[in-house]
Amino acid sequence: MRRWKICLVLCLFLLIPRLSHAADRILDPVVPVPDEIQWLLEVARAEIGYTEGAHGYTKYGEWSGDPYAQWCAEFLCWCVHETDETYGTSLLEHQYPLYSSSNTGRSWFIREGRYIVRNGHLENWGYQWLKGDDHFLTTGTYIPQPGDWVFFTWTNNTDTDHVAMVEYCSEDTDTGDVTIHVIEGNTPDQVKRAAYPLTYTRILGYGTVHDLMDVTMRSGNQGAKVTALQEKLLRLSLLTESDVDGRYGGKTAAAVSAFQSAHGLRANGIASLATQKAIDRAVEEAVSRDPATWTVDADTEDWPDLDRLLESPPVRTEDEITDDF
C-alpha cells in the first residue's frame, strides 16, 4: 500500500507540469510577421545546439572579428547576416544593428525609434505609449513580437549584459501569465531555446521589428522619432526644411513651445503625449485644407459614360425638328 501511494504521488508530480504546459496557448502576433523575419527565425532555429569550442571559440565571434568574445550579440548579428546572404534581404544595419559591445545595440534601436522599455519610461527621454493609445505604457503592457530582440541586465544597473531573439509568446490560460520564448546564444556555451516570464525583472526592454510606440521628447534627444516630429512642425510652418535634422535642439524646443502656447498647453518645449496628440490633430487639419493633398477618386464606376457624352448628336431632319413645336 505504501509503495502504491508513493507511485501515485510520483505520477501526479510528473503529470502536473504536463497539465500546466497543456494550458498554455501560443499568442498570435499583433502585427503580421514579415517573410524576412520568418526567414531569420528559421536561420536561428537551424543553429540550436551549436556549442562553442576550446577556450570559448565560436564561428559567430570569428565572423565579427573576435573568435573568443562573449557572443550573444554576435550570434544574432550573424543570423541576420546569413539571412541577407541567403535570401537577398537587407536587414543588417537597417532592421537590426551590427554590434558587439554592451549598450550599443539598444542605443541603435533607440535612434531608430524602435525600442520599448519594459517599465514604459525611456531614460533621458520620458514616458512611452503605444501608437493610438492615450495613456502611458506600464510594466508588462507590451508583449514582444516574433523577431524582436530582448535586452537583459544581470546587475543592478541599466547596462545591457545579454540579448536574445523572440520566437513567440505564450499565455497560461488558467492564470493569464505570459511567457516569452526566445532563441539565444552564449547560454552558457550553446545556442538554445529559453523561456522568460514577461514580468522578469532582468528584462530591460525590447528592440522591435515594427514601429509600435511613441515617446516623450525633449532637448538633447536624437533619432527617427525627432525627425518625424520635426516634419510635422515643418508642415505647420513652425520649422524650416533646414531645421529637420533629427536633433531636438533649441529651434525644435521653441517650435514646440510656440505650438503649445497657441493651443492652450503648458509651454515648456517638451513634446509630451498631450502635445504630440494635439500636433497630430493640427497636421491632419492642415492636410485636409491643403488643395495640393486632395485626390480624385479614380473609381469611375458611377461616372457618366464620357465616350458617349463626347459622341456627335444624331442628325435630325427639318420635319423632325418642326414636330417638337
Element (H, E) at 204: strand 203-207
pLDDT in tens, 252-311: 999 999 999 999 999 999 999 999 999 999 999 999 988 877 765 555 445 444 344 344
Residues with Cβ within 8 Å of 273's Cβ and at least 6 positions away in sequence, in order, are: 127, 129, 134, 136, 214, 216
pLDDT in tens, 172-216: 999 999 999 999 999 999 999 999 999 999 999 999 999 999 999
* pLDDT reported for residue 307: 47
Instruction: Using the predicted structure, report yes or no on whether residue 249 has a pLDDT greater than 70.
Output: yes
Helices marked H in the chain: 2-22, 35-46, 59-64, 72-87, 104-112, 224-235, 250-262, 273-289, 306-310, 318-323
* Sign, Cα dihedral of 312, 314, 316, 320: negative
Instruction: State the pLDDT confidence band at 244, using cuts at 50, 70 and 90.
Output: very high
Query: Within 13 Å and on the Cβ side, how many CA atoms surround 318?
Result: 0
Q: Copy the grid coordinates of residue 257.
A: 513651445
Section 40-67 average pLDDT: 98
Domains in the chain with CATH codes: 22-213 (no CATH), 216-289 (1.10.101.10)
pLDDT in tens, 49-58: 999 999 999 9
Specify the 3-state DSSP secondary structure of 121.
strand
Instruction: State the pLDDT confidence band at 9, using cuts at 50, 70 and 90.
Output: very low
